[in-house]
């Protein structure tokens, strides 16, 4: 039996959930989305995800035809109908059906759909042993071109980086800015730890301001750890004591080697594990209940 999908005000079987071939989300990547997690029968950080969705839509002048409070109910009900207690939710708003031109004014009605299913971004052993990653030639898009704080449907920049990672036999890659600073991974934010201090790139550098990223920063601060948003280069990554990635799908995953250089002692570090444990504890209590 297939999934039940929310589609423009209705819940339909997945085989009936379809968008038009003239939808500008499909034709041009014109739209926004959120990836959201459910843990222990709760939707984690739902309010923060919806705030980002509506901010992204506002930036691209896309008016979402569902009020934020109603959208929260849509997400929860989609999980309920698919009996999702622990899973992954994809909430998407496209510009809608138009013509073959670029003009968004030719799209009178946005398309809204929500999927609640499961996801496994990395094999379980990588969470225990850590990831081996590389930096790639493809640079992160400049904020002046396409601001990464907008979680848009246009992910080709990230996909090109992921292709380069795969061609080099690794699961993930670090992308740099045009100036050579570390930006983020192709699907995740990056953190390094040096001398007990947690450091991550600032949003203005051209990164997605991740919900998991912000949560980890809050958890680390609550533990008494010094946390900084500042620019850094590959040198700082290579010489870090620890490194890890964060993302809604990835959660927190250790990085143990970058461009052939072992990070720290080449094993997941103590602070990384402490933050993983704190994050997992938080998922047990945060967010509205599904059932």
- In this prediction the pTM is 0.95
Average pLDDT value for residue range 54-78: 98
Confirm whether 39 is domain-assigned: yes
Answer whether residue 290 is part of any domain. no
Q: What is the mean pLDDT of the chain?
A: 97
Beta-strand relationship, 10-13 and 4-7: antiparallel
Say what the pLDDT of residue 119 is: 87
- Indicate if 109 belongs to the active site: no
Q: What is the pLDDT of residue 121?
A: 81
Q: Are residues 147 and 54 in the same domain?
A: no
Q: Which residue has the tokens 């958890």?
A: 219
Same domain, 68 and 128: no
Residue 265 pLDDT > 90, yes or no?
Answer: yes
- Same domain (yes/no): 132, 111: no
The stretch 34-39 carries a mean pLDDT of: 98
pLDDT at 123: 86
Does 8 share its domain with 84?
yes
Alpha-carbon distance 37 to 43, whole Å?
6
Classify residue 288: in a domain, yes or no. no
User: For position 107, which CATH number holds?
Assistant: 3.30.470.10
- The active-site residue, picked from 151, 230, 257, 284, is 151
37 touches 252 (CB < 8 A): no
Question: Quick one: 129 and 254 in the same domain?
Answer: yes
Collapsing DSSP to helix, strand or coil, 154 comes out as coil
Q: What's the structural domain count of the chain?
A: 2
Structural domain of 265: 124-282
Please report, rounded to a whole number, the percentage of residues in the chain having pLDDT higher than 90: 96
Residue 291 placed within a domain: no
Pairing relation of β-strands 131-135 and 173-176?
Answer: parallel
Cα of 64 vs its chain's centroid, Å:
20
CATH of the domain at 196: 3.20.10.10
Please report the pLDDT score of residue 120 as a whole number: 83
Q: 213: pLDDT confidence band, cut at 50, 70 and 90?
A: very high
The answer to whether residue 188 sits within a structural domain is yes
Question: Taking the CA of residue 262 as centre, how many other CA atoms within 13 Å lie in the half-sphere pointing to its CB?
Answer: 7
């Amino acid at each position: 039996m297939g999934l039940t999908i929310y589609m423009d005000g209705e819940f339909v079987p997945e085989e009936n959930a379809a968008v038009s071939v003239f939808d500008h989300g499909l034709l041009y990547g014109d739209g926004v989305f959120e990836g959201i997690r459910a843990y222990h029968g709760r939707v984690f950080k739902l309010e923060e995800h919806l705030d980002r969705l509506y901010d992204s839509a506002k930036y691209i002048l896309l008016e979402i035809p569902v009020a934020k409070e109603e959208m929260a109910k849509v997400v929860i009900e989609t999980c309920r109908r698919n009996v999702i207690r622990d899973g992954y939710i994809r909430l998407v708003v496209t510009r809608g059906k138009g013509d073959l031109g670029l003009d968004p004014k030719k799209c009178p009605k946005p398309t809204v759909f929500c999927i609640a299913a499961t996801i496994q971004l990395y094999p379980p052993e990588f969470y225990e042993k850590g990831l081996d990653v590389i930096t790639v030639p493809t640079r992160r898009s400049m904020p002046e071109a396409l601001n990464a704080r907008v979680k848009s449907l246009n992910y080709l920049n990230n996909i090109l980086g992921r292709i380069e990672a795969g061609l080099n036999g690794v699961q993930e890659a670090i992308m740099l800015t045009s100036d050579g600073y570390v930006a983020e991974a192709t699907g995740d934010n990056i953190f390094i730890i040096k001398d007990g201090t947690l450091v991550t790139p600032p949003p203005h550098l051209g990164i997605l301001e991740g919900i998991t990223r912000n949560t980890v920063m809050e958890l680390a601060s609550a533990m008494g750890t010094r946390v900084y948003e500042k620019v850094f280069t590959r040198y700082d990554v290579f010489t870090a004591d620890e490194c890890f990635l964060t993302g809604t799908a990835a959660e927190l995953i250790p990085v143990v080697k970058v461009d052939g250089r072992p990070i720290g002692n080449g094993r997941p570090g103590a602070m990384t594990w402490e933050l993983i444990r704190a994050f997992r504890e938080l998922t047990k209590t945060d967010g509205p209940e599904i059932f």
